[in-house]
Homo-oligomer: A and B are copies of this chain.
Amino acid sequence: MLRARVSLLLGILFLASLSVSFGIVHRQQHHESQEESDSRTQNNPFYFSSDRFHTLFSNKYGHLRVLHRFDQRSKQIQNLENYRVVEFKSKPNTLLLPKHADADFLLVVLNGKAILTLVNPDGRDSFILEQGHAQKIPAGTTFFLVNPNENENLRIIKLAIPVNNPHRFQDFFLSSTEAQQSYLQGFSKNILEASFDTDFKEINRVLFGEDETQEETEEEGVIVELKREQIRELMKHAKSSSSRKDLSSKDEPFNLRNRKPIYSNKFGRWYEITPEKNPQLKDLDVFISNVDMKEGGLLVPHYNSKAMVILVINKGEANIELVGLREQQQQEQQEEQEERLEVQRYRAELSENDVFVIPAAYPVAINAISDLNFFAFGINAENNQRNFLAGEEDNVMSEIPTEVLDVTFPESGERVEKLINEQSESYFVDAQPEQQQREERHKGRKVSLSSILGSFY
């Protein structure tokens, strides 16, 4: 009881602080100054700017970073508490040293090329992954990652689902480097000697390089340089799966972009693989999407019926608008105040490496400020349905009967239907339609849209 009250009190304070941060969101007038917009971005609990990644390891060859916990930012996305996002980047001709972790990973290549090798006690599998490839790495699997390219950086994003604790996981490396110790060094001398049937000095020399008579041979960190011969050797044993369109294999990587986009027009293309289509995604109940948008394109307002989406900007810039509601729970605490329930706009300007969370059922729209590519993980994905609120196809509003539109909106049902049918495109539309003449744009940015779009296809 007391405990419940403490939680309650903390809850109220939390909500109070939230409402102070956001203030009233939607007003009649849309004269948003740049300052307002920026301050909103910073307080937006769904927005994780790229500096919200915490560096786990970093050296001159690359880095490994983990995004802050989702559930510590907002109660509204507490069901993401079992999920973490990891970013890995490495230079050409490098290797991420063998490790395993207490988490399942779903790995996706954003840029570049990789050789991913999964090592099991009874053998190993090597795969060549290219942009758009995804692969599940089951918890506890020892693996290493090569960037075999001579000049392109490798960039990977991983969804991590920890197994020992809902939100924490750890990397266990076999090597000792300047950055960390080999986990084998955790065992006592006696156990190591008996296990390897070898004198401890020899073990120390061969595995840990801690023989005092020797030079320090430790690597500078967990990402190291490889020689071309070493890469060629590793390449030989790796399976290329980039041309495969078959998604049904339980163990092999699959490429998001080898399939037809689910939505496509001159403003954008949407690639997606759902749990229904791939056994690895079914295991995790996750969908993955990759979306290209043309500068000046708009992904029209829509919501996911049940999936929570973690969006990662790969290239370009975008404005995102997410619509939530002012906390109802807050009112629950207070005495039955009969105030109007207001909607709340969460807006952010997104650029490369930024992450944005779209809760299930929350309407969202994305406006590409430049040519844009983003990637998304959808959590709780099975049977998720995307409900569009504008456009010709999959528009949930166009399925509401006239009699109901009649009483739902101030104008007659017929007039609402006319409005709904005005937009002839679907999914992706022109963010500054030709009717722009009808009023002065108060924001300066003028883009010659036609010239851009010409070069898109």
Residue A276 is within 8 A (CB to CB) of chain B in the complex? no
Given A122-B394, A404-B234, A430-B363 contact (CB < 8 Å): no
Give the CA-CA distance A119 to B433 in the complex, in Å: 29
* A411 nearest CB across to chain B (Å): 4
Q: Are B140 and A419 interface neighbours, CB within 8 A?
A: no
Chain A 163-192, CB-CB to B under 8 Å as 1, else 0, gives: 111101011101100111111111111110
Chain A 1-43, CB-CB to B under 8 Å as 1, else 0, gives: 1111011101101100110000001101010100000000000
Q: Are B399 and A120 interface neighbours, CB within 8 A?
A: yes
The copy count of this chain in the complex is 3
Given A191-B301, A343-B182, A433-B197, A98-B400 contact (CB < 8 Å): yes
Given A187-B301, A345-B187, A410-B208, A197-B360 contact (CB < 8 Å): no
Residue A55 is within 8 A (CB to CB) of chain B in the complex? yes
Q: Are A305 and B197 interface neighbours, CB within 8 A?
A: no
Q: List B contacts of A233 (CB < 8 A).
A: 401, 403
Residue A279 is within 8 A (CB to CB) of chain B in the complex? no
Residue A367 is within 8 A (CB to CB) of chain B in the complex? yes
Residue A440 is within 8 A (CB to CB) of chain B in the complex? no
Give the CA-CA distance A107 to B174 in the complex, in Å: 38
Give the CA-CA distance A113 to B290 in the complex, in Å: 45
Given A6-B10, A55-B336, A324-B170, A193-B121 contact (CB < 8 Å): no
Q: Are A343 and B3 interface neighbours, CB within 8 A?
A: no
* A436 nearest CB across to chain B (Å): 8
Interface residue tally for chain A (C-beta within 8 Å): 173
Residue A218 is within 8 A (CB to CB) of chain B in the complex? yes
Q: Are B389 and A184 interface neighbours, CB within 8 A?
A: yes
Q: Are B340 and A431 interface neighbours, CB within 8 A?
A: no
- From B28, B79, B189, B342, A165 is in contact (CB under 8 Å) with B79
Q: Are B305 and A141 interface neighbours, CB within 8 A?
A: yes
Given A3-B11, A195-B390, A226-B407, A207-B419 contact (CB < 8 Å): yes
Q: Are A388 and B121 interface neighbours, CB within 8 A?
A: yes
Residue of B with least CB distance to A398: B121
Q: Are B397 and A205 interface neighbours, CB within 8 A?
A: no
Q: Are A54 and B120 interface neighbours, CB within 8 A?
A: no
Give the CA-CA distance A371 to B162 in the complex, in Å: 36
Given A165-B77, A181-B343, A321-B189 contact (CB < 8 Å): no
Question: 8 Å CB contacts to B: which residues of A88-123?
Answer: 95, 97-98, 100-102, 104, 117, 119-123
Residue A265 is within 8 A (CB to CB) of chain B in the complex? no
Residue A261 is within 8 A (CB to CB) of chain B in the complex? no
Residue of B with least CB distance to A142: B396
- From B170, B178, B189, B411, A340 is in contact (CB under 8 Å) with B178
Residue A423 is within 8 A (CB to CB) of chain B in the complex? yes
Q: Are B188 and A345 interface neighbours, CB within 8 A?
A: yes
Residue A248 is within 8 A (CB to CB) of chain B in the complex? no
Give the CA-CA distance A116 to B26 in the complex, in Å: 32
Given A181-B343, A323-B187, A332-B54, A304-B206 contact (CB < 8 Å): no
Q: List B contacts of A390 (CB < 8 A).
A: 195-196
Q: List B contacts of A284 (CB < 8 A).
A: none
Q: Are B407 and A97 interface neighbours, CB within 8 A?
A: yes
Chain A 333-372, CB-CB to B under 8 Å as 1, else 0, gives: 0001000111111010000000000011111010100000
Given A122-B394, A206-B419, A422-B196, A361-B1 contact (CB < 8 Å): no
Question: 8 Å CB contacts to B: which residues of A190-220?
Answer: 190-191, 193-200, 202-203, 205-210, 214, 217-219
Residue A448 is within 8 A (CB to CB) of chain B in the complex? no
Residue A386 is within 8 A (CB to CB) of chain B in the complex? yes
* A96 nearest CB across to chain B (Å): 10
* A383 nearest CB across to chain B (Å): 7
- From B102, B321, B391, A191 is in contact (CB under 8 Å) with B321
Extra A-B contacts (11), CB below 8 Å, given A98-B408, A194-B367, A195-B390:
A26-B185, A121-B394, A144-B404, A163-B306, A168-B328, A178-B340, A184-B363, A196-B419, A197-B424, A198-B422, A217-B410
